[in-house]
Structure 1
Amino acid sequence: MLPQALQPGDQIGIVAPASPPNLSHLNSSLTFFKKLNLKVKLAPNLKCVDGYLAGSDEVRISDLHMMFEDPDIKAIFCACGGYGTSRLVSNLDYNLISQNPKIFWGYSDITYLHTAIRQQTGLITFHGPMPASDIGKSNFNPQSELFFKQLFLPTNVTYDESISPLTVIHEGEATGELVGGNLSLIVSSLGTPYEINTQNKLLLIEDVDEPPYRIDSYLSQLKHAEKLQVANGIVIGDFHNCTPKDQRPSWSLTEVFQDYFQEIGIPVLKGFKIGHCQPHISIPLGTKAILSTHTKSLIVQPGVKEGQV
């Protein structure tokens, strides 16, 4: 289920379904959306703080439902990640979302919402930089900005070595729906009604600030759950600051990936600037994609359909 493309002058909504956003960065991001000729509506509970959560579960769900229900809102951007989206998924109104399909955008902790919404409704969603986490910061990369164009016109996203160097871990070419996101959030869905389906999919993984042994642990759990073996291919995004945290002996992150993927029998390509990084290349989740180690590329089909004029 493709959401409609944006039109200049459309209104978007910004919600905080996880942790409280940095309000200074959030406010700075509004200039970017104005440059895209988009109007912005902030969710009424956006500034709520409840410990490490952006307000209670009830108010965060209320804001999400309100944005999906509002016919004037054409896209919903999550302000930031952090923690909290797994607490919401059992109480979301998926029928409401199905009846009001629109662009839904975020990453990191938002991975749990991407997976739940896609598997409950079929809606294509977007993995991309967020207002308070990325867009409103002074180091937001111009290359990241370019990939917002895909929201206005159905366009294939082609990622090759013109963007960043890519490394082949296992050769091959595969096609499938692109799913996944933050590795720790993918793992946290296992054993729940919202467990990620990787059968015949291309699985995207990325993470931040996790030492190699933790990445090993996450991949081990996915392997035991047979999520790696049934995938058609693995897309390894950015693993920012995923280095040993003390002086004890450790594998490198490269050694961890080699151990899990070198003999897996499906194409595995790493080096994608997708995740907690700059630039951060935006991609739709749930659309068909082609991963090729021969051309060192990932080509993702459009995540929107032509909007109504």
Structure 2
Amino acid sequence: MIIPERLKKGDTIAVIAPAGPPDPVKLREGLEYFKEVGLCVQFGRFLFDQEGYLAASDPKRLDDFHQAFADPSIKGVICVRGGYGTARMAPFINYSLIRNNPKVFWGYSDITYLHGAIQKFSRLSTFHGPMIASDLLEEKQVSDTIRSFNQLFEPTEVCFDNSPQTLSVLQHGIGRGRLVGGNLTLVADSVGTPYQWETENSILLLEEVSEPVYRIDAMLQQLKQAGVFRHIQGVVLGDFNMGEEEPTGLERLFREFFRNCPFPVLKGIKVGHCTPNYGVPLGVEAFLSTAKPCFRIQPGVC
């Protein structure tokens, strides 16, 4: 796996919208953090060319994506929000371009589809993390969310334990492997396509937002019956951001689904559509232990 170079003060990052259209006001307010840490920002040419539920047409979004990786002056690529649209781009991406021009790529939610495709065909480690127009404005007072970006400037091991969050064990054990995954819907959507996540000998991260328990059940069953869990080394469950009446049913589902599985399962990581939303590198080695609940991830930059 290729590890991208760290960012430095004065570097330029490209801000693109591979999925849904950004709110211009939220975007510009969310950009304040990057200015404060000394990064220069370059907008994708078609960032505001909204076309229905997409940020722009497929060719335009693809062009912004390619230009961000092709331009040697750009050191990182940051997605503004999720929504929908990245699966439409995947068949047309120039994966050799990305492999030959590795750099930081950051986003989550619908961006999960691109993380899987990039790692499979470009072998580049990427980042699942909070986005400019959907997290930084709403959570600008939440220092932990903002601090997630610090790992882009200095190689840093990301560690989750029982302080300050509370982790719960669904299945005991120890696991080591490459961290993969992200949003459950997008991981499930990739099954049976050329862009299906490679999960063998990996630790699988899953998070979701506003899905009823029966839909989460259906997607987990799809992954199971497709063999996704067959050779993995562990599962880490992020935030599932549900209504007040759903958590009890979800807890029951998780305990039934992962009962007697041969790998460790840890729940309660604050990753996903939540506050705070911690960024994590994907594609790098991770370690999971439930004896004293701990989840550690190797640095995502060099």
Q: TM-score, normalised by structure 2?
A: 0.97
Q: Secondary structure at the match of 1:149?
A: helix
Question: 1:261 is matched with which residue: 251, 258, 262?
Answer: 258
**CA distance in 1: counterparts of 2:36 and 2:140, whole angstroms:** 17
Is the aligned partner of 1:290 residue 2:287?
yes
**CA distance in 2: counterparts of 1:7 and 1:48, whole angstroms:** 30
How many residue pairs match? The answer is 301
Q: Deviations over 1:104-151 (max 9, x none)?
A: 000000000000000101100000000001012255511111221111
**CA distance in 1: counterparts of 2:37 and 2:138, whole angstroms:** 17
Is the aligned partner of 1:224 residue 2:225?
yes
| Correspondence for 2:45 | 44
Residues 243 and 252 in structure 1, CA contact (< 8 A), matched pair in contact too: no
Change (3 A) 1:273 1:251: closer
Q: Secondary structure at the match of 2:238?
A: strand
Pairwise CA distance, 1:175: 0.2
**CA distance in 1: counterparts of 2:62 and 2:141, whole angstroms:** 29
**CA distance in 2: counterparts of 1:24 and 1:228, whole angstroms:** 42
Pairwise CA distance, 1:35: 1.2
Residues 140 and 146 in structure 2, CA contact (< 8 A), matched pair in contact too: no
Residues 212 and 243 in structure 1, CA contact (< 8 A), matched pair in contact too: no
Pairwise CA distance, 1:176: 0.1
| Correspondence for 1:116 | 117
Q: Deviations over 1:19-52 (max 9, x none)?
A: 0011111000121101111111111100011111
| Correspondence for 2:278 | 281
Change (3 A) 1:216 1:130: same
Is the aligned partner of 1:300 residue 2:297?
yes
Q: Deviations over 1:191-235 (max 9, x none)?
A: 111111111100000000000000000000001011123211000
**CA distance in 1: counterparts of 2:89 and 2:17, whole angstroms:** 12
Pairwise CA distance, 1:242: 5.5
| Correspondence for 1:159 | 160
| Correspondence for 1:14 | 15
Q: Which runs of 4+ in 1 moved over 4 A?
A: 242-245
**CA distance in 1: counterparts of 2:165 and 2:116, whole angstroms:** 27
Give unpaired runs (5+ residues) of structure 2.
none
Change (3 A) 1:146 1:113: same
Q: Secondary structure at the match of 1:105?
A: strand
Residues 29 and 132 in structure 1, CA contact (< 8 A), matched pair in contact too: yes
Is the aligned partner of 1:57 residue 2:58?
yes
Q: TM-score, normalised by structure 1?
A: 0.95
| Correspondence for 1:129 | 130
Residues 229 and 264 in structure 1, CA contact (< 8 A), matched pair in contact too: no
- Percentage of pairs with the same residue: 46
Q: Secondary structure at the match of 2:175?
A: strand
Q: Secondary structure at the match of 1:252?
A: helix
Q: Secondary structure at the match of 2:64?
A: helix
| Residue correspondence of structure 1 range 131-280 to structure 2 within 5 A | 131-138=132-139, 141-241=142-242, 252-280=249-277
**CA distance in 2: counterparts of 1:138 and 1:301, whole angstroms:** 26
**CA distance in 2: counterparts of 1:218 and 1:120, whole angstroms:** 24
Pairwise CA distance, 1:295: 2.1
Pairwise CA distance, 1:163: 3.3
Q: Secondary structure at the match of 1:205?
A: strand
Change (3 A) 1:268 1:242: farther
Instruction: Report the aligned-residue RMSD.
Output: 1.3
